[in-house]
Amino acid sequence: MYFRFSKYTIFMIFFSVSVPTFLSAVNYEDAYSLEKQSPVFAIPLYEEVSRTGSSSDVRRTAATRLYFLYEKFNKYVPALQYQIRAGTTKNKKGEWSSFVKNLSQGLGISPYSLIAVTQACSKSTSAFSVPETKTDSTVSSEAASPEISEPYRSLSKKENLALIRLCYSVKMKTKDYEGWDHIFAYLTEKELLSKDVALPLWVGSALQSGRGTPYRRIFLAGKSKSLSADSKSDILYLYAKFLRNRGRFEASARYFLMSSTYSNAKRGRFEAAKNLLLMDRRKEACSFPSETYNGDEETEVLFRKLCQTNDWDWAMPYLPALRILMRENPDPVFSFVAQGGGREAAENFLSRTSAGNPDKDDDGAEEETESAGILAKLFPPEDKTRFPFWDVRDRDANLVLPEKTKYICKVIRRPFFGSPNIQPQFCKETLPGTLEQILSAVNEEEDDASYAFADSSYLPVNAKWMWKEIPPPQGIDPSLAAADSPPVFGPIGVLGPWNLDFVVFRKVLNRTYIEIRKGKEYYNVSIKPSNVLWEKG
């Protein structure tokens, strides 16, 4: 069997949950019929039949079909768990199955560690305790060394990164959040994880479980100097999920899109398109390039169907599977199809994601609930910046507008990532000054309002953004010559000119943001309006 291990696939293994629970009676015939039409959606039905089938023969047959589909659609963790339960990880000759060999090779780990960690992490995990050393004088010193229990033993090895992510995935699926916290505390204490790897896992577990303070973890993680471009993409992706789960679809879409600039471009764009569905903007969502959703994941299959036809007749056979999937893995596409679009889709999605989680999107509102020991390990003073990497309130800039600029206008974002739709009744005359003075003219009461600049005919002008200086790379002596310093990547890595798409004010944070582009780069960053001066273009 052939396995594909792309970055996107591996991340989806680690940061997704798809374990269905019983919702309604499902029979084998239903699953088999759906398999003929769309095999990947037969998986949750076969899973249900394999647990609740009327006879052992039916359950066994369903399990056989289920394993075939797990392999076909690269659902590695459940396929491995199936082989472990069935005792088929080795053949009669004692050789590892082709599935185990391919999976362990693809992840760069040994088959023994793969099996050990999967088995151990599928069970509840208690806090690590130092094992007792045998005191029998007849036992050699080597044999008397304490034996560490699984999963701690395998996770302590040099190959542990893939194993840690595998364990994370299993713990999130089984909802053993306390067990994962024990494991993460051990890994952090023993310094078995780099901060670049640890922080996305730390944030992701809080979003999945609601334990700790999710937004505060996002905010703190963004201030780390140790983040690579991949990890910055992951943190922004998780921040966008946090915002979406609280109904802030526009702000969420911006962070999904910015995450795609740092890394995982397809992932960020597809999630932004999903947000447009929740805003009931199906046509605009489908305007994203088709390669954004050309995979075999359930959401991609449904998204293609949504964009290929205007009717809903095709959706009926999928509803039993969707009801199961939505219970454990709420997704905008699932809700949109199940509800037939409209406002009901957003309400359905939010009812499954935001209940029972009071965490606020406010970097000053969180109480200290995190372990002091973990915080000290993850965020030593020398590794912290003043603001998260998407926050540049300490930077000065010039707003470069042409002479013909006359108005600042609140805009309706349709399309969301396109030219502003300017209407005269939402425009206020503006004069040169700081951006703070310019924004004071509009005095907007909406929670999330976007603004653009227009000429006397209410046509958008070509607004530009210029940073006044590029900061030295983090950890580099400012006295070094520019030629000796590595380049700064991100929104302040280039002075400009940047194309300024929108100025956004979020009332809940009393914060002003700008959306700037240059080539394929897109950033949505927080700025301090009083630091920005209108410069004549």
Per-residue pLDDT band for 361 (boundaries 50, 70, 90) equals low
Higher pLDDT, 483 or 248: 248
pLDDT greater than 90 at residue 324:
yes
- With b meaning 16 or more CB within 10 Å and e meaning fewer, what string describes 322-356? bbbbbbebbbbbbbbbbbebeeebbebbbebbeee
Angle at 34 between CA 86 and CA 50, to 5 degrees: 25
What pLDDT is attached to residue 143? 45
What pLDDT is attached to residue 364? 52
Higher pLDDT, 286 or 129: 286
What pLDDT is attached to residue 145? 47
The Cα–Cα gap between 21 and 29 comes to 19
What pLDDT is attached to residue 157? 81
From residue 252, give the alpha-carbon distance in Å to each of 316, 329, 441: 30, 18, 27
| Mean pLDDT on 331-353 | 95
Average pLDDT, the chain: 86
Task: Count Cβ atoms within 10 A of the Cβ of residue 108 and give its class: 0-12 exposed, 13-18 middle, 19 or more buried.
Answer: exposed
- Residues 411-456 have pLDDT tens digits of 988 888 788 889 999 999 998 899 999 998 887 677 789 999 999 9
Please list, in sequence order, all residues whose beta carbon lies within 8 angstroms of the beta carbon of residue 93, skipping any fewer than 6 positions away: none
DSSP 22: -
pLDDT greater than 60 at residue 357:
no
pLDDT greater than 90 at residue 500:
yes
- Residues 81-130 have pLDDT tens digits of 999 998 999 988 899 999 999 999 999 999 999 999 999 999 999 999 87
Angle at 38 between CA 35 and CA 42, to 5 degrees: 45
Which residue pairs, CB below 8 angstroms and at least 24 apart, start in 513-516? 513/254, 514/465, 515/254, 516/465, 516/491
What pLDDT is attached to residue 346? 96
Two structure tokens written together for 519:
């080539």
Per-residue pLDDT band for 133 (boundaries 50, 70, 90) equals low
| Mean pLDDT on 27-55 | 92
As a whole-number percent, the residues of the chain with pLDDT over 70 amount to: 85
The Cα–Cα gap between 104 and 112 comes to 9
What pLDDT is attached to residue 18? 41
pLDDT greater than 80 at residue 487:
no
CA 136 to chain centre: 52
Provide the whole-model pTM: 0.88
pLDDT greater than 70 at residue 293:
yes
Nearest to 11 by CA among 241, 169, 239, 157: 169
From residue 43, give the alpha-carbon distance in Å to each of 5, 26, 46, 68, 208: 21, 12, 5, 10, 23
What pLDDT is attached to residue 348? 95
Nearest to 524 by CA among 287, 206, 248, 292: 248
- Residues 155-214 have pLDDT tens digits of 998 768 999 999 999 999 999 999 999 999 999 999 999 999 999 999 999 999 887 788
The Cα–Cα gap between 387 and 10 comes to 30
pLDDT greater than 60 at residue 20:
no
Domain ranges across the chain = 391-472+488-536
> Locate tokens 């309400």: which residue?
347
Please list, in sequence order, all residues whose beta carbon lies within 8 angstroms of the beta carbon of residue 518, skipping any fewer than 6 positions away: 494, 496, 498, 499
Nearest to 499 by CA among 453, 533, 468: 453
Minimum mean pLDDT range among 140-149, 344-353, 485-494, 500-509: 140-149
